[in-house]
Amino acid sequence: MLEWIQTNLPGVYSLGWGGDSGWGTSIAQTLYMTLGAAVFGGLLGLAFGIGLVITDEHGIRANRTVFEILDKVVSIGRAIPFIIMVVVFSPLTQLITGTTIGTTAALVPLSLGVFPFYARQVQVALLGVSDGKVEAARSFGASNWDIIHDVYLREGRSELVRVSTVTMISLVGLTAMAGAIGAGGLGTTAIVTGYQRFQNDVMWTATILILLFIVLIQFVGDLIARHYSHH
Amino acid sequence: MAVIELKDINVTFKQKKQTIVAVQNESLTVEKGDIYGIVGYSGAGKSTLVRTINLLQRPTSGSVKVNGTEMTDLSPNALRDERKNIGMIFQHFNLMDELTVFGNVAQPLKHSKLSKTEKKAKIDHLLELVGLSDRSDNYPAQLSGGQKQRVAIARALANDPEILISDEATSALDPKTTNQILGILKRLNEELGLTIVLITHEMQAIKEIANKVAVMEDGTIIERGSLLEIFTNPQQKLTKDFINTATNRDEALLNVRELLREKPLASDEQLYQINYVGNDTAQPLLSTIYADYQVTTNILYSNMEILTKTPVGLAIVVLKGADENIRTAVSSLVDHGVHVTQLDAEKEDA
């Protein structure tokens, strides 16, 4: 196997496993960026998504002002191209992580880039929970927090898993883009090491690994969503 | 004793630039142990009116008193507590799909002070009450419509409410299942003393179990009274329409007219509808009018309902005899408390 790679894919072989630009390192970096941004961007997106649903005109805590603010933030956030966001938020990144380059620094724009997208997806998923269920919960004296937790999140969870899967997949895409400006990971490998140094074998291998990663996320996501659905 | 007192309730919705009046200056008093039926077509405002009882719909103005407590003055926490005293069931059941039957019934008990064993005993008891003990671990998707509504009833009773609001709870069910659900409601009313407010567009359902009726149209109650009063002496056209559908009178009349098209009335025959209360009045009277006025009666359709333990009858008859004799016979019937209406044998509307 290794020998076959050495003869047919010399570029891929020469990068090795460990080291700064090794395959193991870039895979770990991609995982780190994806999961890290999924946690931060995910929590922020979930909070905004819930906020949008409950402050909505028909929500359990209707509040036009708050709704408009959340809605505008999400819309504007969605409108700024990610690559520009990386640059625009670099002072913030510097403030939070102490640097503007590297994998950890990339977590800031990745989280901020993915959260508006996720917030919108969460909003749509939660709006799919029927008003009737919310009304039933109100009728037996559930508090707003009970309703968020026991109605919206629990009844919407298989849909939430589905939109989270979609978000994770687009997040993998964003990490590759972040890679173009030095964040590391499979994106850097494909673009900097592969494309810019004319090593097609490296570029394709990195691409296939990203693809496999995405397929894996989709598979696991579908599995969890199905496990949670009793509709 | 009045359990629910709605007074001068107004509910308006602002939509874009126009204001929609859903309930207009309406009041309603429900006594303990009542099964109060509110009937009306969709959009009449009955759901909106009834939702003000537990403030799922806050009235634009007016007073809502439940057991003497002014609901609109309560803090959010106190309101939530008060709502536990008012169970509610819905047309589309509104069960949680991701919870089992047991979990659904347990949901309202989330913050209750009962121990885990006590909760379980209570839920088991409620499921037994609605006959679903063996379905405890099923999910709603595995149940039929009737079973889902029974779970919803058990859930609504979890906090031992005094009041149950039924919002079109049988409208999505077939007739047999509807009767089953109505039977359960009736039983709960009798055994637990549960006060029930029942909204429906089917007079049929109200006829089965209610003791009081209100008819709603365009945000106001146009007619109200005891079931017997409303059924035997309806004043408004809409009320009559509902009753005619519920007693199958409309369908019967259609068939009668079909029959008369084949075999038209003779010149000495006239078509009448008679309504009577009590089972010992009408039949003997019909024989009397033959003996006294030589008017013979041919019954084309007859129907008898038992409403709150009183028989209420309806018959479509052909009276045969001399014009004048028929007129005297009819006034004699009216004197004996029977409602008599002449029907047109051909026209589609009577």
Determine, for residues A231 and B97 on separate chains, whether the beta-carbon distance falls below 8 Å.
Answer: yes
Parse chain B into domains and list their residue ranges: 2-234, 247-342
Average pLDDT, whole number, for chain B? 92
Residue A146 distance to chain B (closest CA, Å): 9
- Taking contacts as CB-CB distances below 8 angstroms, the residues of chain B near A64 are none
Determine, for residues B107 and A141 on separate chains, whether the beta-carbon distance falls below 8 Å.
Answer: no
- Token pair of B245, please? 């559908």
pLDDT for the residue B185: 96
Q: What is the mean pLDDT of residues A218-223?
A: 95
For residue B129, the number of C-alpha atoms closer than 13 Å in the C-beta half-sphere is 26
Determine, for residues B88 and A140 on separate chains, whether the beta-carbon distance falls below 8 Å.
Answer: yes
If you ran DSSP here, which 8-state letter would residue B308 be given? T
Tell me how far apart the alpha carbons of residues B172 and B258 are, in angstroms, rounded to a whole number: 32
- Taking contacts as CB-CB distances below 8 angstroms, the residues of chain A near B126 are none
Nearest to B206 by CA among B191, B185, B192, B235: B185
pLDDT for the residue B40: 94
Average pLDDT, whole number, for chain A? 91
Tell me how far apart the alpha carbons of residues A65 and A132 are, in angstroms, rounded to a whole number: 25
**pLDDT exceeds cutoff 80 at B281:** no
**pLDDT exceeds cutoff 90 at A122:** yes
A216 CB neighbour count, 10 Å cutoff:
10
Determine, for residues B159 and A130 on separate chains, whether the beta-carbon distance falls below 8 Å.
Answer: no
Pairing relation of β-strands B195-200 and B18-31? unpaired
Confidence of residue B280 (pLDDT cuts 50, 70, 90): low
Q: Which amino acid makes up residue B288?
A: T
Quote the pTM value: 0.88
Q: What is the mean pLDDT of residues A36-63?
A: 95
Residue B227 distance to chain A (closest CA, Å): 28
pLDDT for the residue B279: 65
What would the pLDDT profile of B85-141 be if each residue is shown by its tens digit? Answer: 999 999 999 999 999 999 999 999 999 999 999 999 999 999 999 999 999 999 999
Name residue, tokens 């609605």: B130
Residue A138 distance to chain B (closest CA, Å): 7
Q: What is the mean pLDDT of residues A49-65?
A: 95
**CATH number 3.10.129.10 is the correct assignment for the domain at A24-229:** no
Which helix (H) or strand (E) is A219 found in, with range? helix A200-228
CA B115 to chain centroid: 38
Output the DSSP codes for A109-177: HHHHHHHHHHHHHHHHHHHTS-HHHHHHHHHTT--HHHIIIIIIIHHTHHHHHHHHHHHHHHHHHHHHH
pLDDT for the residue A147: 97
pLDDT for the residue A16: 80
Of B155 and A81, the one with more pLDDT: B155
Q: Which among B88, B92, B99 is the nearest to A139, CB-wise?
A: B88
Quick check: A2 contacting B, CB < 8 Å?
no
Quick check: A161 contacting B, CB < 8 Å?
no
The three-state DSSP-derived secondary structure of B200-250 is: ECCHHHHHHHCCEEEEEECCEEEEEEEHHHHHHCCCCHHHHHHHHHHCCHH
Determine, for residues B98 and A154 on separate chains, whether the beta-carbon distance falls below 8 Å.
Answer: yes
Q: Which of A18-32, A120-134, A200-214 has the highest mean pLDDT?
A: A120-134
Determine, for residues A154 and B99 on separate chains, whether the beta-carbon distance falls below 8 Å.
Answer: yes
- CATH architecture for residues B2-234: 3-Layer(aba) Sandwich (3.40)
- Taking contacts as CB-CB distances below 8 angstroms, the residues of chain A near B95 are 133, 136
Determine, for residues B98 and A151 on separate chains, whether the beta-carbon distance falls below 8 Å.
Answer: no
Residue B337 distance to chain A (closest CA, Å): 46
pLDDT for the residue B83: 96
| Percent above pLDDT 70 for chain B | 98
- For B85-120, give one letter per residue: b (16+ CB within 10 A) or e: bbbbbbbbbbbbbbbbbbbbbbbbbbeeeeeeeebe
What would the pLDDT profile of A144-168 be if each residue is shown by its tens digit? Answer: 999 999 999 999 999 999 999 999 9
What would the pLDDT profile of B178-199 be if each residue is shown by its tens digit? Answer: 999 999 999 999 999 999 999 9
- CATH architecture for residues B247-342: 2-Layer Sandwich (3.30)
Instruction: Give the length of chain A.
Output: 231
pLDDT for the residue B350: 43
| Percent above pLDDT 90 for chain A | 63
Of B92 and B279, the one with more pLDDT: B92
Q: Are B198 and B156 in contact (CB under 8 A)?
A: no
| Percent above pLDDT 70 for chain A | 99
Name residue, tokens 């099923």: B138
Residue A103 distance to chain B (closest CA, Å): 39
What would the pLDDT profile of B226-250 be if each residue is shown by its tens digit? Answer: 998 898 888 999 999 998 888 888 8
Range from A7-11, A102-106, B122-126 carrying the lowest mean pLDDT: A7-11
